[in-house]
Amino acid sequence: MSFATLWESLLPIGRDGLSGGYRRFSWTPEDAACRAWFTQAAAERDLRVLADNNGNLWAWWDPPGWPGPGAPGGTKAVVTGSHLDSVPDGGAFDGPLGVVSAFAAVDLLRERGCLPVRPLGIAAFSEEEGGRFGVACLGSRLLAGAIDPAAARALADAAGVTLAEAMAAAGHDPDLIGPDDDLLAAVGAYVELHVEQGRALANLDAAIGIGEQIWPHGRWRLDFTGRPDHAGTATLADRRDPMLPFAAAVLAARQAAASHGARATVGKVTAEPGAVNAVSARVSAWLDARAPDERTLETVVGEVLAAAREAAAGHGVELAAGPESVTPAVVFDQGLRERLASSLAEQDIAAPLLPTGAGHDAGVLAARVPTAMLFVRNPTGVSHSPAEHAEPADCAAGVRALATVLEDLACR
Ligand SMILES: [Zn+2]
């Protein structure tokens, strides 16, 4: 089966030898290698490859006799795909499983003798994880007009390199980024296959699930500014130590999430100047929060920020806090979801409905295009970690499910 060959060929790119995790950040040499892999996989299948102005890659299987993109009266495309970038030391499956499965599904459709009657596209969205520039789903947000292009160009990575500089260095014109209404208008449906980032399918003893909704979620940045001082000579009473209100905020996040059935995580923090024997001048922390509904999310974040402010005031520390990106709840298109369910049921593929706390390009695109998601069982539920896993048999089931859905949507 083509899945294993494709999977093996992608696996070495961007893998860290020590952690075993992936570091595939946008507009880096690893990213270029992923893009070359995508282009080759498309070429091997005679698919037409295009990079859009936002750096997202598209591979098109045009129906026989189709007059070409932008043709008047042209039927709308069916698109599948995901992303190839990773979080720092991420797993192999989050993103790539959807892209590899898409190519394998095309192979399976051809084995079955199916021909598309409308264009069938495979997309790989840029910077989905926000691993380099901090804004999740950056490529799809730009495409859909969900982020200001000038603000996006100014986003900087940890080394101070802006998105504009990184894109230009990789040979992409950053002045062209922004919404592409023509491209989106040509897409009639987007179906993203993704490894499950929880254990719902494992608990239900099902290999495949259908996405029902994505929890509202976002990232908030908290900058605590105090006064740098000597760890040995500055008395406790004299200190303005930003680490203390930071610590209070972390504990408040856990408390707020636990009391509201939500998730809140501080997974990234920087301390300046970062000396072992000095009180910090500044501590910057990022809060990731998700909840079943928007009101609960606001409540959780409100409680964390209130606790942070109170603790900062108590320690003579200044706090600047605000959202970096917030994504509202996404309920996937009901008609498309039901169509997926019935085409899978016809093939006796059990696929329960699942909500998810993870954001996806499908969630961003849902504002503009009917979207749906398929999930593949993850036995431990662990994700954004080298331990992320899906069994080969479940990956194969995912390819079959995706091909079944694509056959229904694009070939009939
Ligand atoms: Zn993902």
Ligand 1 centre from 392 Cα, in Å? 19
Nearest Cα residue to 122 out of 80, 163, 71, 177: 80
Ligand 1 centre from 108 Cα, in Å? 23
Ligand 1 centre from 244 Cα, in Å? 34
Ligand 1 centre from 407 Cα, in Å? 24
Mean pLDDT, range 142-152, rounded to an integer: 96
* β-pair partners for 362: none
Cα 330 from Cα 341, distance rounded (Å): 18
Ligand 1 centre from 194 Cα, in Å? 7
Ligand 1 centre from 128 Cα, in Å? 7
pLDDT at 64: 83
Ligand 1 centre from 74 Cα, in Å? 31
193-233 per-position pLDDT tens digit: 999 999 999 999 999 999 999 999 999 999 999 999 999 99
Ligand 1 centre from 409 Cα, in Å? 23
Q: What are phi and psi of 357, to 5 degrees?
A: -90, 0
Ligand 1 centre from 91 Cα, in Å? 10
Is pLDDT at 79 greater than 90 in this prediction?
yes
Ligand 1 centre from 346 Cα, in Å? 28
* Amino acid letter, residue 93: F
How confident is residue 75, by pLDDT bands cut at 50, 70 and 90?
A: confident
pLDDT at 70: 59
Q: Is 383 helix (H, G, I), strand (E, B) or coil?
A: coil
Is pLDDT at 69 greater than 70 in this prediction?
no
Ligand 1 centre from 33 Cα, in Å? 18
C-beta separation of 319 from 223 below 8 A: yes
Mean pLDDT, range 310-327, rounded to an integer: 95
How confident is residue 357, by pLDDT bands cut at 50, 70 and 90?
A: confident
How confident is residue 72, by pLDDT bands cut at 50, 70 and 90?
A: low
Q: Is the preceding peptide bond at 228 cis, omega within 30 degrees of 0?
A: no
Do strands 229-230 and 278-279 pair parallel, antiparallel, or not at all (unpaired)? antiparallel
308-318 per-position pLDDT tens digit: 999 999 999 99
Q: Is 171 left (phi over 0), alpha (psi -120 to 50) or beta?
A: left
Ligand 1 centre from 71 Cα, in Å? 33
100-114 per-position pLDDT tens digit: 999 999 999 999 999
Q: What percent of the chain has pLDDT over 90?
A: 92
Is pLDDT at 1 greater than 90 in this prediction?
no
Ligand 1 centre from 387 Cα, in Å? 15
88-101 per-position pLDDT tens digit: 999 999 999 999 99
pLDDT at 74: 65
Ligand 1 centre from 359 Cα, in Å? 7
pTM, entire model: 0.85
* β-pair partners for 335: none
Ligand 1 centre from 285 Cα, in Å? 23
47-64 per-position pLDDT tens digit: 999 999 999 999 999 988
Ligand 1 centre from 67 Cα, in Å? 34
Least confident residue range of 76-85, 247-256, 284-293, 357-366: 357-366
Q: Report DSSP letters for 65-114, one per residue.
A: T---TT-TTPPPEEEEEEE----TTB-SSTTHHHHHHHHHHHHHHHHTT-
pLDDT at 359: 85
Ligand 1 centre from 389 Cα, in Å? 13
How confident is residue 73, by pLDDT bands cut at 50, 70 and 90?
A: low
> Average per-residue pLDDT in the chain?
95
Ligand 1 centre from 82 Cα, in Å? 7
182: burial class by Cβ within 10 Å (0-12, 13-18, 19+)?
exposed
Ligand 1 centre from 83 Cα, in Å? 6
Q: Which protein residues have their CB within 5 A of the ion that is ligand 1?
A: 94-95
Mean pLDDT, range 284-288, rounded to an integer: 98
